[in-house]
Structure 1
Amino acid sequence: MFFLKKAHSSINYIYFKPKKYCDTWLTKNHKTPRLLFKHSGIFDLNKNLVLFIITGFDDGRLSSLIEYYEPSKVVVLNQVGNQFDNEERNNGSNKDIFLNLNHEKIEFDSYDVTNASDILNKKIKEYKDCNIIISSQGPKLSSLSTYKNYLLNNNIALAYVSARDFNDKYSIGIDENYISGSFDFNIE
């Protein structure tokens, strides 16, 4: 998105959901969480850290973010619906991870980029007196709403957890009902 922004004022996107995700592991051997280059925000050592996580199906990534950054609060943005057995598989629904953690859960539809961006922006404004790191681990479209909010609030940081291994059956097939739209980099 950083490089696209340098070359274009807006882009069109199209996203095809897979027909199915594999029933076993998706990724493993995760690397240390990192802030994205040129998107690491502005941090004040006197402020608490709030970690926003748009969740997905990979418990290891979620746990590593929480353990690494040790936030004072986690805002969990949970994908709504039961597509891909989401309600059972989505790690944001996994209560064990959050047992002893100050957290807030929000229902979120990553496939609706405009509404997802609005929900995320509203939450960011609630925590404007904190340091904020956002990690998008859910459907790939969630990266659009995440980046839009970075453009609106460039003091927030974007984080990612890479994996060394990806399941070769990570996803299977393509759902022909695509999602498309336009993304404007010129945000006022």
Structure 2
Amino acid sequence: MRSCENIRGRIGAWLDGELSAADAEAARIHVNACSVCGEERRQLERLDSSLHAVFKTGGSKLAFDPFWRGVEQRITQKTNWYEEFGDWIRATVTAPRLAWAVPAVIVIVLAALSVDFFFPTMKTATQRDNFAAVESIDTYGRNVALLREDETKTTVIWLYQNPETENESSTETTEATPAF
């Protein structure tokens, strides 16, 4: 049975004359002795003869010379560097690659913007100025302002006796005496 499967796979090559002399002789002996492989041979011979008949009638109408001249011309034709570069750009910017590029750019931008969040001690080009926080406290008619600078560990305290006079939009004049 193993020999039959092996020969059945080689019947087409045997009919086309592609086997060596020893393999062709073994295939011929087996095909003549085995009825299943003999039927396979007859089917392949009928298929081959019908394909030859179709090709002879329809194949003569085909103009192969212009086709082969065009193929030869494209093979021998040299392209300019800018045409090759244009072909490379068109191949690079195709829809599937562009579809992956958009989310990749978004991820890269988000990662660059969140570096400060994940690594607060790292000095980056995107680091913002360290704005100080001002706290105001009103107690018994005095205005106390605290400015805390975390980076330099500095605290500045302002004491105002009359907070209304410190308003720039006020039309009242202020006294020339110091507040403290």
Q: Same fold (TM over 0.5)?
A: no
More strand by share: 1
TM-score of the superposed pair, with normalisation by structure 1: 0.15
More helix by share: 2
- Structure ID, larger Rg: 2
TM (normalized to structure 2)?
Answer: 0.16
